Amino acid sequence: MISEIPAMICSNLSVRSDGQLLFAGQDTAALAATYGTPLYLMDEDRIRERCHTYITAAAAAFDGKARILYASKAASFKRMYEIMREEGMCVDVVSPGEIATVRRADFPMECVYFHSSHKSDEDICYAMEQGVGYFVVDNTEELLALEQIAAEKELRQRILIRLTPGIDPHTYEAVATGKVDSKFGFAIETGQAEEVTRLALAQPHLELVGFHSHVGSQVFDSDVFLQMIDILMEYIAMIRDKYDYLPQQLDLGGGYGVRYLPTDPELDIAANLAQVGAYTKQKAAEWGVPMPEVLFEPGRSIVADAGLTLYTVSSLKRIPGYKNYVSVDGGMTDNPRFALYQAPYTVLAAGKLNEPATMTCSVVGRCCESGDIIQENVPMPESIKRGDLVACLTTGAYNYSMASNYNRVPRPPVVMLHGGAAYMAVQRETLEDITALDL
């Protein structure tokens, strides 16, 4: 018998009558016994479902003139790129390491967009040699380096220019990227965007195919996208009038939010894209601008709730009158987001969900660091003890990709769940891996 999880935040979570957490229909205790903990689990069916939703909704919203890029910094490993290839997605990358992983996955390089506010000459050379389709230009020095290297390689490189629209998305400060005071892109209101657009159009070895913008993350409605479209369409009309240039592509970035807590809203992706599509077409008509192909870059909203991390409890520490600590065998090495910016998570006693969670505690990690916290103020059953399983939900985005070897702790494996079966996508690191590069 299966019942609803007490804090239902995603449809791929359920609970057996004995209180055991199921993820993607599979027993988390059995998975932990097979693969060990800490353990990243990824629901492949959920990932594919989200890809399909984005592709279908964007095609409907933009009359077939849309392209969906997976923002792969959310979770970058070979199997993920294989799934994106199979689902007909494009991807964006931010480093040579991600490019190398894309190549290993046999991904079509003409569908790869290279972001990042830092691209060294070596990065640019490597990306061009690998056949990366598009560079998203973030600063003038990068633009000039691209022109020089493309000339040396006797090729014409396609680029987009990243524009900063000057919008505050009311998201976490750490992930707000659309304001004028940002390390990313060229501000429209200061005139820098126009200056670099003019410069890009003059480069013989660069083809300016469009503009890119991104306002931030954890956005639960389309208001900031509509504000961005107002600014971008006016900008495009101005550039057309002054320089006789119209973009083929307009990349609106990503940023749609996911549920980390039961109090977070549930996002209707199709409805939001339909709203953005209608508004974009309206504003293009008002400015007399032909509709470009519109790109979106979802990352978190494709993989976040497809992920779950399992831990084993090592100790319960009660400090009467003060605080309770549940210590687990992972922590900031596999999920640094609370330590970085107090990111919220739902944390559960994975094998005791039929017991009342009457004890409030801090779930903390194994590192010798007072800031090694997975989540504060977590309700847990009084019976929680060494050897029990703890699950941290919605960890598919920015957990594996941000993991580290702090305290020389090996990183967990990534196990994919698909059609009722499980398979390893990334192996667990070993102590030999940790010391392999030492001389």
Min mean pLDDT across 166-175, 280-289, 401-410 is at 166-175
Q: What is the pLDDT of residues 375-396, one digit of tens each?
A: 999 999 999 999 999 999 999 9
Q: What is the pLDDT of residue 4?
A: 44
Sequence ranges of the domains in the chain: 2-43+304-435, 115-298
Distance of alpha carbon 281 from alpha carbon 229, whole angstroms: 10
Choosing from 10, 51, 361, 368, the catalytic residue is: 368
User: Averaged over 333-359, what is the pLDDT?
Assistant: 96
Q: What is the pLDDT of residue 171?
A: 45
Distance of alpha carbon 14 from alpha carbon 8, whole angstroms: 8
Q: How far is CA 22 from CA 2, 59, 242, in A?
A: 9, 34, 59
Distance of alpha carbon 154 from alpha carbon 192, whole angstroms: 28
Q: How far is CA 1 from CA 17, 19, 101, 107, 219, in A?
A: 6, 10, 42, 42, 36
State whether the Cα torsion 132-144-68-238 is positive or negative: negative
Q: What is the pLDDT of residue 180?
A: 46
Banded model confidence at residue 183, pLDDT cuts 50, 70, 90: low
Q: What is the pLDDT of residue 7?
A: 55
**pLDDT over 50 at 175, yes or no:** no
**pLDDT over 80 at 170, yes or no:** no
> Is residue 190 within 8 Å of residue 135, measured between CB atoms?
no
Is 368 designated active site? yes
**Is residue 215 helix, strand or coil?**
coil
Q: What is the pLDDT of residues 58-67, one digit of tens each?
A: 999 999 999 9
Q: Which option is the CATH number for 115-298: 3.30.420.130, 3.20.20.10, 3.40.50.2300, 3.40.720.10?
A: 3.20.20.10
* Six-digit token string for 13: 């979570």
In sequence order, the 6+-apart residues with CB closer than 8 A to the CB of 243 are 197, 198, 201
- CATH (residue range 2-43+304-435): 2.40.37.10
Average pLDDT, the chain: 94
> Is residue 261 within 8 Å of residue 346, measured between CB atoms?
yes
Beta-bridged to residue 360, according to DSSP, are: 379
Tell me whether strands 206-212 and 157-164 are parallel, antiparallel or unpaired. Answer: parallel
User: Averaged over 346-353, what is the pLDDT?
Assistant: 96
**pLDDT over 90 at 216, yes or no:** no
Taking Cα atoms as reference points, which of 193, 128, 120 lies closest to residue 155?
Answer: 128
Q: What is the pLDDT of residue 149?
A: 98
Q: What is the pLDDT of residue 220?
A: 87
Q: What is the pLDDT of residues 73-130, one digit of tens each?
A: 999 999 999 999 999 999 999 999 999 999 999 999 999 999 999 999 999 999 999 9
Banded model confidence at residue 168, pLDDT cuts 50, 70, 90: low
The angle formed by the CA atoms of residues 45, 50 and 56, to the nearest 5 degrees, is 125
Q: What is the pLDDT of residues 16-52, one digit of tens each?
A: 999 999 999 999 999 999 999 999 999 999 999 999 9
User: Averaged over 218-237, what is the pLDDT?
Assistant: 93
Q: What is the pLDDT of residue 185?
A: 85
Distance of alpha carbon 301 from alpha carbon 299, whole angstroms: 6
**pLDDT over 70 at 5, yes or no:** no
Q: What is the pLDDT of residues 241-278, one digit of tens each?
A: 999 999 999 999 999 999 999 999 999 999 999 999 99
Q: What is the pLDDT of residue 215?
A: 83
- Percentage, residues of the chain above pLDDT 90: 90
Segment (H or E) for 64: none
**pLDDT over 70 at 174, yes or no:** no
**pLDDT over 60 at 156, yes or no:** yes
